[in-house]
Amino acid sequence: MSIGTDPSSFPRDAEKVNPSEWFRRGRSLHTYEKAETLLLPRPSATVWKFARSETMMNNTLIYRSPDPSRASRDVIRRSRASLRGSMIAKVPAFPYPRVIQFESMLEYRFLCMTLVRPDIHDILEQPPAIHYRRGDGSDASHVFDFVVTLSSGERIAIAIKPADRVVQRDFVTELGCVAAAMPKHFAHRVKLITDEQLNRRAAAEAARLVMRSRPQLTEVAA
């Protein structure tokens, strides 16, 4: 079962969307709005005052910070070699919106394309390291990029790498050693995702959908 979303399920105008519209280096994605929204006319003072009064009469809303990331290590934000950041998301396993970190553009694409899938129950980024033994007998450790839990209960350990690096480093062989040492409770199987599977058009449209459905960080005061 593939984790990536089928590009054919997205509108054709997805190619006009640039994922960088929702990303600034070292900052959370949820703090930015598309430029078009800034051009909308503000409501008149009378309308704004009425709407505010109605909200306060019905409910008293308070802001609540999102739950922190569950990653086993913090993402180093400053990097000239890759795109890194975080976003706020809500999946069924989260009791409240939570911060999810990513360490590359490929991880960001994968995350957006995964969040719009209806069969996703949980997403864990940077899970605890798996200790394994290489083919030459030396000890090593590997941290998967994500562990995705489907609604069916199946857990999939995700490794994301550029296709050229997979070939250069013979990463498939290394990943086989990691899979052999992986505890059964960690994941049911391992899946390798490359840039060839993370279609830019599909990822761009997924990013748009994620931004449109951002979880609210306000709740009614008790």
Rounded percentage of the chain residues whose pLDDT exceeds 90: 57
CA–CA distances in Å: residue 95 to residues 28, 33, 83, 130, 209: 20, 25, 28, 27, 21
Surface-to-core class of residue 140, CB atoms within 10 Å of its CB (0-12 exposed, 13-18 middle, 19+ buried): middle
Domain presence at residue 82: yes
List, for residues 77-108, the tens digit of each pLDDT value: 655 556 778 999 999 999 999 999 999 999 99
Residue 162: pLDDT above 50?
yes
Residue 134: pLDDT above 50?
yes
Domain presence at residue 169: yes
List, for residues 1-38, the tens digit of each pLDDT value: 434 344 333 333 333 334 333 333 333 333 333 333 33
Rounded percentage of the chain residues whose pLDDT exceeds 70: 68
Domain presence at residue 185: yes
Q: Which two tokens stand for residue 123?
A: 């997403």
Domain presence at residue 119: yes
The per-residue pLDDT for 8 is: 39
Q: Which two tokens stand for residue 208?
A: 């748009």
CA–CA distances in Å: residue 40 to residues 34, 43, 115, 208, 220: 11, 9, 28, 18, 28
Q: What is the value of pTM for the model shown?
A: 0.69
The per-residue pLDDT for 3 is: 41
Domain presence at residue 4: no
Residue 119: pLDDT above 90?
yes
Residue 151 belongs to what domain range? 12-220
The per-residue pLDDT for 80 is: 58
The per-residue pLDDT for 144 is: 97
CA–CA distances in Å: residue 51 to residues 31, 60, 69, 107, 220: 24, 13, 35, 40, 17
Over residues 202-211, the mean pLDDT reads 92
The per-residue pLDDT for 76 is: 62
Q: Looking at the 3D structure of the chain, how many domains does it have?
A: 1
